[in-house]
Structure 1
Amino acid sequence: MAEEPDNLVLQMLRDICARQDQHSARFDEIEAELKEVRLTVTSHDLLFDALEERVETIREGTVTAIGYAVHASRGHVDLRKQIADPTLRVEKLEAGR
């Protein structure tokens, strides 16, 4: 069989196949990287959920503590008023003598 020159169409098809193989390999790499990114995002979502839960717990504790402090302060003011009222009455009685 005589040696014939390569058919240009066949040569182009071979080049196209070779490039498709390269692209397929690159797409596989991109897909693997995308899976890693998705896993990272998922783990970050879990961490943010945990942080939100902690912040909410701290907020609730702070609000409760402030409520107790306000309540105690109010009780302290009420006690001072109760103590001051009889003291004033005694002072008035003693001044009247």
Structure 2
Amino acid sequence: MAEEPDNLVLQLLRAMRAENSARFDAIEAIVREVRLTVVSHDLRFDALDERVELIREGAVTAIGYAAHANRGHVDLRKQIADLTRRVERLEAGR
């Protein structure tokens, strides 16, 4: 079979294929960049999650200390009130 010259349709199809290939290459490059950005964002979010957890733990600890200190004050007030009543009873008994 002798070589025939390319017809116009085949030339157009080849040109379209080349253009599409270039476009898909560009899209794939963009997708790679987006994936890298997503990975870096994931790492940042993980770091932020750790920081928030540390802050939460610190707040819970601080609230725990405050509650414990408040409980200590309540206990001291009860002891003072009990001692005051005892002293008043002793003085009344004299």
Q: TM-score surpassing 0.5? A: yes
Asked if 1:69 corresponds to 2:69, the answer is no
Give the aligned residue type for 1:52: D
Cα distance between partner residues in 1 of 2:17 and 2:83:
98
The Cα of 1:82 is off from its aligned counterpart by: 1.0
Root-mean-square deviation (CA, aligned residues, Å) is: 1.6
State the percentage of identical aligned residues. Answer: 69
Give the one of 7, 11, 14 matched to 1:17: 14
Gaps of 5+ in 1: 1-6
Cα distance between partner residues in 2 of 1:86 and 1:55:
46
The Cα of 1:95 is off from its aligned counterpart by: 2.6
Asked if 1:88 corresponds to 2:85, the answer is yes
The Cα of 1:16 is off from its aligned counterpart by: 0.1
Asked if 1:52 corresponds to 2:44, the answer is no
Cα distance between partner residues in 2 of 1:59 and 1:29:
44
Give the aligned residue type for 1:79: L
Structure 1 runs of 4+ off > 4 angstroms?
none
Instruction: Give the alignment's TM-score, normalised by structure 2.
Output: 0.89
Gaps of 5+ in 2: none
